[in-house]
């Protein structure tokens, strides 16, 4: 979306809708990672996982982390709830 479009109500509505959809998809990905974490040890994942699959998953996770960290860096402190700020600090 272009910056000019984001000032239009329809553009803002679309952005909000897309962000909500992404949130649900990210939650699904987080659940999949949690299932792996709970069912298998890191050593087993490294030993028996397909290297290209692991590398692709790691690259995707890193890209997501960089993208959302850049958004977080531009947010004003008041835009995040206290709990979200604590969680963000713990991940650093």
State whether 21 and 50 are in the same domain. Answer: no
Cβ contact 55:62 at 8 Å:
no
The pLDDT of residue 77 is: 80
- Residue 78 belongs to a domain: no
CA nearest neighbour of 71 among 15, 25, 11, 5: 15
Instruction: Residue 55: give the domain boundaries.
Output: 42-72
- Entry pTM: 0.70
How many CA atoms lie less than 13 Å away from 92 in the CB half-sphere? 10
- Residue 91 belongs to a domain: no
- Residue 83 belongs to a domain: no
Indicate whether 42 pLDDT > 90: yes
Cβ contact 36:45 at 8 Å:
yes
What mean pLDDT, rounded, does the chain reach? 87
The pLDDT of residue 2 is: 53
- Residue 81 belongs to a domain: no
Both structure tokens of 75: 């947010």
User: Quick one: CA torsion of 21, 25, 59, 46, rounded to 10 degrees?
Assistant: 170
Domain count, the chain: 2
State whether 5 and 31 are in the same domain. Answer: yes
- Residue 29 belongs to a domain: yes
State whether 33 and 58 are in the same domain. Answer: no
């Amino acid at each position: 979306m272009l910056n000019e479009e984001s000032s239009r109500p329809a553009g803002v509505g679309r952005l909000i809708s897309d962000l909500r959809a992404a949130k649900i998809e990210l939650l699904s990905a987080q659940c999949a990672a949690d299932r792996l974490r709970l069912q298998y040890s890191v050593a087993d994942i490294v030993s028996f996982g397909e290297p290209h699959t692991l590398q692709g998953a790691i690259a995707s996770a890193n890209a997501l982390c960089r993208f959302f960290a850049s958004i977080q860096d531009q947010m004003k402190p008041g835009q995040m709830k206290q709990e979200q700020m604590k969680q963000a600090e713990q991940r650093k």
